Amino acid sequence: MMKRYIEQAEQLFMPTYSRFPVVLDRGKGVYLYDVDGNKYLDFGAGIAVFALGYSNKEYNDALKLQIDKLLHTSNLYYNLPAIEAAEKFTKASGMDQVFFTNSGTEAIEGAIKLARKYYYKKYGIANSQIISMDHSFHGRSMGALSVTGTKKYREAFEPLIGGVVFAEYNNLQSVKELIQENTCAILMEPVQGEGGIHPATQEFMEGVRRLCDQHDMLLIFDEIQCGMGRTGEMFAYQKFGVTPDIMTSAKALGCGLPVGAFAARDEVASAFEPGDHGTTYGGNPFVTAAVSQVFDLFESEQILDHVNQISPYLSEKLEEIVQKYKCIKEHRGIGLMQGLEFNIPVKEIIANCLNKGLILISAGSNMIRFVPPLIIEKEHVDEMITILEEVLNDIGQD
């Protein structure tokens, strides 16, 4: 059955993904099942999306209730779920105003527009500069690609939007050297995800904030992957005690529904005027009902406490793996956003793990990324480690 579905899909879908030969059908807790009934322990969570795991009853019930009430109205009108979600989002993030989008990429687009509009309104300068980071990843639209500091993603689609330069991550001097009179913002991930699971240093986070204050620039944090509890705080910047002027969110914000957001301080958000930005679907009652329920479940199920309890165990077990296998170069990460950097390509390792019932994802060609649902227990970490070691032993990597 699975082979037939895959053959059909290859005829119908544009060739933009190198998919693994599995057709997933349903999920329960931290496990996924394919159409043939095979079971997989999921340590990818739909690329850090399913923070609450699969088939959470309270989450599903909230969506079923909203389906029967109202799915969409457009932003020509107000709706109650969006108001409730906005209140919870701003309280959790420390921001003042929020704009709901359909994706993380759109959140980045909105953040870029807001930063440039703020600078234009304040100084009357339209051609402002944004400093982003090498090896960063912010999305695949033309604007988001423009601030993505990985050349292979950008070069086929140039020319992109101008006025973007790239500094070296965790190198404050590199940032200083790029600042010009028309620099309006610095954009960065507190923990780089696609770029290889690189957490920012405390010194760098504080230093970038100081530079923004000194030069009247806005600080934008991309929390699309590292936010929503993955580091043990609701948002990663809270772990550093450094607050941005604009921040973006998505992925686990909706725990499966397509929703993102960008938020800002009042002074910055007020730069937008009616007509400056918009979306047909963003912030509709259905997706914001999900956002509202996600925040409620984070609180009632004490998700942040659980991440802080279980993540040291995952880190400890990954450190043990590093010591056992010479093919592994380094372990790094924070909370339940961890990675193993190998001396070899990891695609075969990930494929063999999948064959043994373990879903892992990469971050670049030599990095395995561990971003499981935030509800995992020690038994799941042990199960993952057992399968990973079996695969490494089978392919002769010691």
In tens, the pLDDT along 2-23 reads 889 999 999 999 999 999 999 9
Calpha distance 218→375 (Å, rounded): 35
Residue 178, phi-psi category: left (phi > 0), alpha (psi -120 to 50), beta (remainder): alpha
What element of type H or E holds 25? strand 24-28
What pLDDT, on a 0 to 100 scale, did the predictor assign at position 398? Answer: 67
SS3 content of the chain, % helix, strand, coil (to 5): 40, 20, 40
Whether 305 and 234 have beta carbons less than 8 Å apart is answered as: no
Angle of helix 80-93 versus helix 285-300 axis, rounded to 10: 40
Residue 167 phi, psi dihedral angles, 5° rounding: -100, 165
Q: List the structure tokens of 95.
A: 């921001």
Whether 255 and 51 have beta carbons less than 8 Å apart is answered as: yes
What pLDDT, on a 0 to 100 scale, did the predictor assign at position 2? Answer: 86
Positions in the chain short of pLDDT 70: 397-398
What element of type H or E holds 331? strand 328-334
CB neighbours (10 Å) of residue 207?
Answer: 19
What pLDDT, on a 0 to 100 scale, did the predictor assign at position 64? Answer: 98
* Cβ within 8 Å of residue 75, ≥6 positions away: 278, 279, 280, 282, 283
Q: Of 160, 171, 159, which Cα lies nearest the Cα of 207?
A: 171
Task: Kindly list the structural domains of the chain, giving each domain's residue range(s) and its CATH number in brackets, ordered by start.
Answer: 2-55+302-394 (3.90.1150.10), 70-300 (3.40.640.10)
What pLDDT, on a 0 to 100 scale, did the predictor assign at position 395? Answer: 83
Dihedral in degrees, nearest 10, Cα atoms 173, 175, 178, 182:
-130
State the first-to-last Cα distance of the chain, in angstroms, to the nearest integer. 37
Q: Of 239, 243, 235, which Cα lies nearest the Cα of 261?
A: 235
Whether 252 and 228 have beta carbons less than 8 Å apart is answered as: yes
266 SS3 class: helix
Largest CA distance in the chain: 63
Q: What is the pLDDT of residues 101-132, one digit of tens each?
A: 999 999 999 999 999 999 999 999 888 999 99
Q: List the structure tokens of 375.
A: 């509800």
Can you say whether the dihedral through the CA atoms of 362, 137, 82, 284 is positive or negative?
negative
